[in-house]
């Protein structure tokens, strides 16, 4: 269709992408073999069949299990290089990538091993493909505050290589308030701040992310559609939402794509963006996400253009850098 041609051709930024969630089953097998790690799956088909989730935690259990094949700097390089190659096919020009160092450090992988491999691929992608990047280190919210501070200590000598701090993993029972002091420290270091909020959690978690963490951008933010005052506050602050419709569908946040609040929020004047979250696990990269909502939510060509434009406006790029893309 014409809309499909347009979406594929539009330059885009991807602002919500967990690099470990781009680990494709083929690479999982390859790395398991290379590193002598045993998998509980016998085949790629068996892996895909296991990706049938009822909620966020269901997914996270397999996500942390799958990433155990990632062990060396080369593994993190290969993972990131493969994502950039795939993103380039979707005409992604700028990426802001999350990584979860705590999930690797608890398996005995050094922080530097992870950062070196991911960054080497990002630098190479910028040089060879012209894809600019930012790197956002996520704190696992199911772990204690002390662990988050310990991560900040380990990362401290490398902060010049990081652009932001994020908050991800199990949302329910782990409200943003748990990390108010960690985020205050990150803010004092000049880092950008983002947090997953209102994915499965209630509007009050989004309020906490705004008022206690003082975030610069909201990851997901679906719950904002349930709270008019929150919606007004998000607009007043000019905050961008990094939404992930296929993720929401597969994690049963909004099992029916027709019910996804993305179009409603965009039409209410919120700066909404479209992203793939964990594309290997949710069955679609960024263009698949754009096309799925275009169809399910009856969105126009102008709306597709607006979403792509929002992705650059909401990026952690300077005004001069944004100008190149807008």
- The residue within the footprint of ligand ADE, chosen from 247, 260, 273, 310 (CB under 6 A), is 247
- Residue 277 binds ligand ADE, judged by CB under 6 A: yes
For the segment 59-98, give every residue that binds Zn ion (CB under 5 A): none
Q: What are phi and psi of 164, to 5 degrees?
A: -155, 170
> Which residues between 268 and 287 bind Zn ion (CB under 5 A)?
277
Flag whether 16 is marked binding. Answer: yes
18 labeled part of a ligand binding site: yes
Q: Per the annotation, does 158 bind a ligand? A: no
Who contacts 77 (Cβ-Cβ below 8 Å, separation ≥6)? 117, 118, 120, 121
Query: 20, 199, 200, 208: which is the annotated catalytic residue?
Result: 199
Is the CB of 56 or the CB of 224 nearer to ligand ADE?
A: 56
The answer to the question of residue 199 lying near ligand ADE (CB under 6 A) is: yes
Query: What are φ and ψ of residue 101, in 5° steps?
Result: -60, -35
DSSP result, 111-138: HHHHHHHHHHHHHHHHHHH--EEEEEEE
Comparing CB distances to ligand ADE, the nearer of 203 and 279 is 279
Question: What region, left, alpha or beta, does residue 220 occupy, with left being phi > 0 and alpha being psi -120 to 50 degrees?
Answer: left
Cβ neighbours of residue 266 under 8 Å, at least 6 residues apart?
272, 303, 306, 307
Contact between 18 and ligand ADE by CB under 6 A: the answer reads: yes
* Residue 190 C-alpha from the chain's centroid: 21
Q: In the complex, what is the shortest distance from the CB of residue 200 to ligand ADE, in angstroms, rounded to a whole number?
A: 8
Told to judge if 14 belongs to the known catalytic residues of this protein, a careful annotator would answer no
Give burial (CB, 10 Å; 0-12/13-18/19+) of 29: middle
How many residues comprise the chain?
A: 326
Which of Zn ion, ligand ADE, none does residue 66 bind to, with CB < 5 to 8 Å depending on kind?
Answer: none
Question: Is residue 222 involved in binding ligand ADE (CB under 6 A)?
Answer: no
Q: Would you name the residues annotated as active-site residues?
A: 199
Return residues touching ligand ADE (CB under 6 A): 18, 21, 56, 63, 168-169, 196, 199, 247, 277-278
């Amino acid at each position: 269709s014409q809309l499909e041609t347009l979406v594929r051709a539009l330059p885009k930024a991807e602002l919500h992408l967990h690099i470990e969630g781009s680990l494709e089953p083929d690479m999982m097998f390859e790395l398991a073999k290379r590193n002598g790690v045993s998998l509980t799956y016998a085949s790629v088909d068996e892996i895909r069949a296991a990706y049938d989730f009822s909620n966020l935690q269901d997914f996270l259990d397999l996500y942390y299990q799958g990433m155990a094949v990632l062990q060396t700097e080369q593994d993190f390089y290969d993972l990131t290089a493969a994502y950039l190659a795939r993103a380039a096919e979707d005409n992604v020009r700028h990426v802001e990538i999350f990584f979860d160092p705590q999930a690797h450090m608890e398996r005995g992988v050094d922080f530097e091993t992870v950062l070196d491999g991911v960054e080497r691929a990002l630098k190479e992608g910028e040089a060879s493909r012209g894809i600019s990047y930012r790197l956002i280190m996520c704190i696992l919210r199911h772990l204690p505050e002390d662990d988050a501070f310990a991560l900040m200590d380990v990362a401290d000598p490398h902060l010049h290589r990081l652009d932001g701090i994020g908050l991800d993993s199990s949302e329910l029972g782990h409200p943003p308030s748990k990390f108010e002091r960690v985020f205050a420290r990150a803010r004092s270091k000049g880092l950008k701040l983002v947090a997953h909020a209102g994915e499965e959690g209630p509007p009050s978690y989004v309020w906490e992310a705004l008022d206690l963490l003082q975030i610069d951008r909201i990851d997901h933010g679906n719950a904002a559609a349930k709270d008019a005052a929150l919606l007004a506050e998000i607009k007043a602050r000019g905050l961008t939402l990094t939404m992930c419709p296929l993720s929401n569908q597969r994690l049963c946040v909004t099992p029916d794509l027709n019910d996804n609040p993305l179009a409603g929020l965009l039409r209410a004047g919120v700066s909404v963006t479209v992203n793939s979250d964990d594309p290997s696990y949710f069955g679609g990269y960024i263009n698949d996400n754009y096309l799925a909502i275009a169809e399910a939510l009856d969105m126009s060509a102008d709306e597709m253009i607006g979403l792509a434009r929002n992705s650059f406006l909401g990026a952690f790029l300077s005004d001069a850098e944004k100008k190149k893309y807008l």
